[in-house]
Structure 1
Amino acid sequence: MRTASDYIEMNVPAKPDYVGVVRLTISDLANRMGFAFDEIEDIKIAVSEAVTNVVNHAYADGEKGQVRIGCNIFDDRIEITVVDQGKSFDVESISKNLGPVDGKSVDQLNEGGLGLFLIDTLMDKVEISSEAGVVVMMTKYLHRDEVEEHVDRISPAPSQ
């Protein structure tokens, strides 16, 4: 059972003007969680790619669409879900229908396949679904304990 400590949702027009707004908001959340600079940059690029895919591919020319972005904040990770076509947004029911990107070649990925390939490279886990529009769920794990655990220690001198 997954229990997030906080859940944040944004709903923005599917226009290029709002990609930066989403990217900066997610960046601030990741920063507050304690992600390292390089990890925040990876998250920003992945979110930008996912939202840009919606802007460029989800809606016909002239159609006024929306992008919904949901963020589940856990102690050890952030899960970011990007959904197009303005359907109702229920994280639990959507999560049940997602599948891993792993195992698909780049040419099998739709909705800007290279963007999804980049997202998969930058994030720890990526799942996609195209049953009701396109849903991209990206997870980045917080690895702060690996660094903090050893920062203040002096390595023991080797035995002679």
Structure 2
Amino acid sequence: MDQPKDLIELTIPAKAQYVGVVRLAVSGIANRMGFSYDDIEDMKLAVAEACTNAVDHAYTDQLGKVDVIFRIYRDRLEIRIKDEGNSFDIAAVKQRSGPIENHLPLTAMRERGLGLHLMETLMDRVDIDGGKGVVVTLTKFMQRDEVDHDVDSPAETRSY
């Protein structure tokens, strides 16, 4: 696997009021890399969801911390959100999330894994590892242009 060009590490207390700091960091880093506005907004929402999950579920009795590591590659941004609190059964959350049901209140849908579904929809890749705590790795690839690289540019097109 290739090495990141840059690595940025941020540690926040596991408190809801610091999730906005992570959103600002995502926005600044992704903007500097050249991501589109829509991709940046998607990343901010997915990262906020992962951080909020860590804040809400990782630590019950003690105050903990959430580590956010940004790995900057030429073609993608990987964001790792790590806590050292309570782990969870990823397969069970995925199974109970099921299809979105409009008649349920949003709070019930969140408890059924809506956050995981949201992260998977907004990001190109989502990897979750449990053990001592939870590590969520969110990946977004750069979309430099909408044209395939092997298509001739207008300057190279010949007329006969």
- Report the TM-score range of the alignment, normalised by the length of the smaller protein: 0.7 to 0.9
Identity %: 50
CA separation of 1:80/1:16 partners in 2, compared to 1, >3 Å: closer, same or farther?
Answer: same
Question: Quick one: which of 107, 117, 120 aligns to 2:97?
Answer: 107
Question: For residues 21 and 142 of structure 1, what CA distance do their matches in structure 2 show?
Answer: 23
TM-score w.r.t. the length of structure 1 is 0.76
Contact 2:65 2:83 in 1 (8 A): yes
Unaligned runs of 5+ in 1: 87-99
The answer on 1:31 being equivalent to 2:31 is yes
- Report how many residues are paired: 141
Contact 1:106 1:117 in 2 (8 A): no
The AA in structure 2 aligned to 1:113 is G
CA separation of 1:148/1:31 partners in 2, compared to 1, >3 Å: closer, same or farther?
Answer: farther
Query: Could you tell me how far 1:105 is from its partner in structure 2?
Result: 3.7
1:122-133 → structure 2 map (5 Å cutoff)? 122-133=122-133
TM-score w.r.t. the length of structure 2 is 0.76
Contact 1:106 1:114 in 2 (8 A): no
Question: For residues 130 and 112 of structure 1, what CA distance do their matches in structure 2 show?
Answer: 18
Contact 2:96 2:112 in 1 (8 A): no
Find the counterpart in structure 1 of residue 68 from structure 2. 69
SS at match of 2:25: helix
Unaligned runs of 5+ in 2: 99-109
Q: Select the structure of larger CA radius of gyration.
A: 2
SS at match of 1:18: helix
The AA in structure 2 aligned to 1:143 is Q
The AA in structure 1 aligned to 2:24 is L
